[in-house]
Chain A
Amino acid sequence: TQLLEQSPQFLSIQEGENLTVYCNSSSVFSSLQWYRQEPGEGPVLLVTVVTGGEVKKLKRLTFQFGDARKDSSLHITAAQTGDTGLYLCAGATSLDSNYQLIWGAGTKLIIKP
């Protein structure tokens, strides 16, 4: 069974602080996606990383794909209250010719003003 472990499960910090959340697996993924889900809404894609070692930046958010394509991190600089939400990672893989997205359980992030 392929698993994606996300850590921490929950994080509550003050506005202006930095934070990093992690997405780890023993499986290799062809690509990895990060989504953010706000209360009452469905997940929305933030970024897709494809190449081992790849770093992508989205304003204050920095995403990195591990060299072996088994793990990923999301770093937020100077967090804002608008960053509050559930952050989900999802790894794309093909198993027996069936493409699958393997989902993590998410990191619930609360940014306090």
Chain B
Amino acid sequence: ETGVTQTPRHLVMGMTNKKSLKCEQHLGHNAMYWYKQSAKKPLELMFVYNFKEQTENNSVPSRFSPECPNSSHLFLHLHTLQPEDSALYLCASSPHFVGGNEQFFGPGTRLTVL
């Protein structure tokens, strides 16, 4: 138990569906992250929120839409996804948005787009 929870753990959706991934951290951290993990590839940083403000958007397609209502919760809204978006989506948090900080990860949501 890392203090970061993610729901759902598994999600299968069609290309026309709309769904949301949820992340919650119970660690009192100020920074939260969304990553995409595909087999044999480095973790891809998608979005960073620091004190609820988005600080990074690494050229992520607009079919992925993040939301951070407070420093404990992070959402990733999905719509009109493509099969190549199938991957493990990891949420992480850290005390501050500093590169050397340890990041605490949730267990991930395994997403399959049909």
Contacts and interface: CB of A to CB of B under 8 A. Distances in A.
A92 B99 contact: yes
A89 B4 CA distance: 21
Interface in B1-55: 2, 4, 40-43, 45, 55
Contact of B97 (A31, A40, A99, A106): A99
Interface stretch (A43-51, A52-60, A61-69): A43-51
Given A99-B98, A101-B99, A42 B105 contact: yes
A27 to B, nearest CB: 12
Contacts of A94: 99
A40 B45 contact: no
B100 A44 contact: no
Interface string A78-96: 0000000000101011100
**Chain A contact patch, size range:** 20 to 34
Given A42-B90, A101-B45, A31 B100 contact: yes
> What's the dominant secondary structure at chain B's contact region?
loop
The CB with the most chain A CB atoms within 10 A, among B40, B55, B100, B102, is that of B100
A92 B100 contact: yes
Contact of B42 (A4, A33, A44, A93): A4
A104 B102 contact: no
Using C-beta atoms within 8 Å of the partner chain, give the interface range for chain B.
20 to 34
A86 to B, nearest CB: 9
A30 B2 contact: no
A26 B99 CA distance: 18
Nearest to A89: B42
A9 B99 CA distance: 25
Contacts of B106: 42
16 contacts: A4-B42, A9-B40, A30-B100, A41-B107, A42-B92, A43-B103, A44-B105, A45-B102, A45-B104, A90-B43, A99-B97, A99-B98, A100-B45, A101-B45, A102-B42, A105-B40
Given A42-B92, A88-B43, 12 more contacts: A9-B40, A42-B90, A42-B105, A42-B107, A43-B103, A45-B102, A48-B100, A50-B100, A99-B98, A102-B42, A103-B43, A105-B42
